[in-house]
Structure 1
């Protein structure tokens, strides 16, 4: 694949699900070519901590390609010789400090005040992201998508597309996600992470200055999310105990070496992250509920016209497989076409990203019109 370029999409005003209207700007990337009929487009949506850089490299010197590069490219499951693939940066992208991310969020300057939005920024949802992506798609002259796909928060966006724009897509692929964020996931990893950030004295209701950021709170928030992203075995091998070197210190302040190794790994990851964007994104994931605005989950999922493929992981602690099974059962009971493909990996929730080879073949078949 050739090197990819970041593009920018803006709307002078966008009405959010919460009722507020603001101007928005987000980045996006494309892979492959849009055909003459403009009927070969696939929208890929990114997960919680990712960006629109789903595949390829910005330059040949880049160490790593995009996060779903194993699936997107010539001859791959999402074949760029066949499909035109798009991926957008989400609102409040937590990698706000990443120079390759274009996002609107609390660290953006409010054009009406000349000051950063801070916590006056309206709460966003993944229904909002689907609506913004819809405007982008239309601006490119695309009337209907072949598919919308994504892992985790990307799957939440895909389902919002399927429910709210049912006639604009043929297929929906939901990886390690579901129709509603589990309450345990919301409380144990998301609300607790939000609390960790806002209890940091440097939080200042989101008005902190550059260089005075609530890094301690953000670090703890990231620890909480990371601890649920993988499965038990991954942590045992990645941060092993060493009984020969593990000497009991008289001070409680000295952490075991495996704990320090984990904290250091989190510190390296958090460099491009912003605390206020993390708070807003965590809230959006908590608020993910396809049934919102409908009388029931059954009514919401009954609106889906697209073929649906749900791909959970057996060892996922954040979205256990029963949530995917529930959605598949409801869709089929309501007369839809939903398939279920379960993967097994020690990588837990992150298997939907790092173990893409486990579902590449069924994904490719599904995109070509075959039910799994």
Structure 2
């Protein structure tokens, strides 16, 4: 008797297509490119004399240069959205399940591009190119530290626009981003409405309200309290590693859910229970689940910079789509059809932030739609669980 999948030829065809797609994506190798500009004017009126950022692309730019999809990355990510640098890389870009030949964002059809943010968190990652507080100030020959201008989501957008224009691109097919990337995506639609016919906001928001602002500030507190922070002037001294690790522990917890943490706690490796021996007998004793969280943070901290984290926090706190007096003022400028994909159990950028922006767009008579992501991973449903909305994303960008 035939296997159920093989009873109908259409399933066989679909299965073959899936296999071919998998083999094609395995060959998606990418190269980090470098973009430089001078005298970049920030949103708050200051000047960065020299700016360098990295960027990556997937697929081929067509002759009309109108098949461009911009992917704007999340808080702790960079422009490595898909593919690998070498075949031996252990991990592909964070949205590799979404981007590639035959995938939802089909690189056989579209030219997909992503750009490292200013003050990118992974400044010590050899595959990241960024300008921020850890960069050398050409006026002093030393690291900027807190002399680096405060930057905003709008500044990230402006740098991306310069990269695109350097390639002769003057319009997008779509822009899509997750979390901090969603802020950039919707701000693109408000700042340059004629550039953006389609906008997708994943686990995002239209603005950082009072709750989100204070939550983000909690990530900054451990760094500021670390005596090694030295008001940002630590580049020739011991860095504020403990403060950075503590901040990253908070970030990881906020990005997940209680259910996800409890599932981790029940694993054989962690084996969390209330009356663990070390915490029972010493106030300095640490729980296994806390050790697990700290170990993850320690690994990530090796590639990150504390000041850069503070600057990304501030950029996120300052965010309001359109960068004007109120959200409605920004949203009314949007011409794009919009798709919001919040996570139903997101504890970081809660679903109401997307719902508010979506409803205001609908009330203005604009083309906007919202669907929720599900899963146990909270905010991270928008990264590791994005495949569940692959078909919706594909249909949205191809219409």
The TM-score range, normalised by the shorter chain, is over 0.9
- The reply to whether residue 104 of structure 1 matches residue 119 of structure 2 is no
- TM-score scaled by length of structure 1: 0.96
Q: What is the aligned partner in structure 2 of residue 195 from structure 1?
A: 221
1:95 to 1:211, Cα distance in 2 relative to 1, 3 A: farther
Q: What is the aligned partner in structure 2 of residue 300 from structure 1?
A: 330
- Which residue, out of 293, 301, 310, partners 2:340? 310
Q: For 1:18 and 1:249, how far apart are their aligned partners in 2?
A: 52
- The reply to whether residue 346 of structure 1 matches residue 386 of structure 2 is no
- TM-score scaled by length of structure 2: 0.89
Q: For 1:305 and 1:341, how far apart are their aligned partners in 2?
A: 20
Count of aligned positions: 367
Q: For 1:179 and 1:209, how far apart are their aligned partners in 2?
A: 35
Cα shift at 1:328: 1.0
Query: Secondary structure of 2:70's partner?
Result: strand
Q: Pairwise CA RMSD of aligned residues?
A: 1.4
Deviation larger for 328-337 or 345-354: 328-337
Cα shift at 1:114: 1.1
Q: For 1:163 and 1:292, how far apart are their aligned partners in 2?
A: 9
Q: What is the aligned partner in structure 1 of residue 210 from structure 2?
A: 183
Q: What is the aligned partner in structure 1 of residue 189 from structure 2?
A: 162
- The reply to whether residue 122 of structure 1 matches residue 149 of structure 2 is yes
Q: What is the aligned partner in structure 2 of residue 233 from structure 1?
A: 259
**Highest Rg: 1 or 2?**
2
Mark the runs of 5 or more structure 2 residues left unpaired by the alignment: 1-26
Q: What is the aligned partner in structure 2 of residue 252 from structure 1?
A: 283
Q: For 1:331 and 1:152, how far apart are their aligned partners in 2?
A: 19
Q: For 2:237 and 2:160, how far apart are their aligned partners in 1?
A: 33
Query: Secondary structure of 1:145's partner?
Result: coil
Query: Secondary structure of 1:173's partner?
Result: strand
| 1:55–1:68 CA contact under 8 A, matched in 2 | yes
Deviation larger for 316-325 or 161-170: 316-325
Q: For 1:243 and 1:162, how far apart are their aligned partners in 2?
A: 48
Query: Secondary structure of 2:143's partner?
Result: coil
Deviation larger for 26-35 or 320-329: 320-329
Q: What is the aligned partner in structure 2 of residue 364 from structure 1?
A: 394
- The reply to whether residue 287 of structure 1 matches residue 318 of structure 2 is yes
| 2:134–2:235 CA contact under 8 A, matched in 1 | no
Q: For 2:362 and 2:211, how far apart are their aligned partners in 1?
A: 26
Larger proportion of helix: 2
Q: For 1:16 and 1:34, how far apart are their aligned partners in 2?
A: 29
Cα shift at 1:199: 1.2
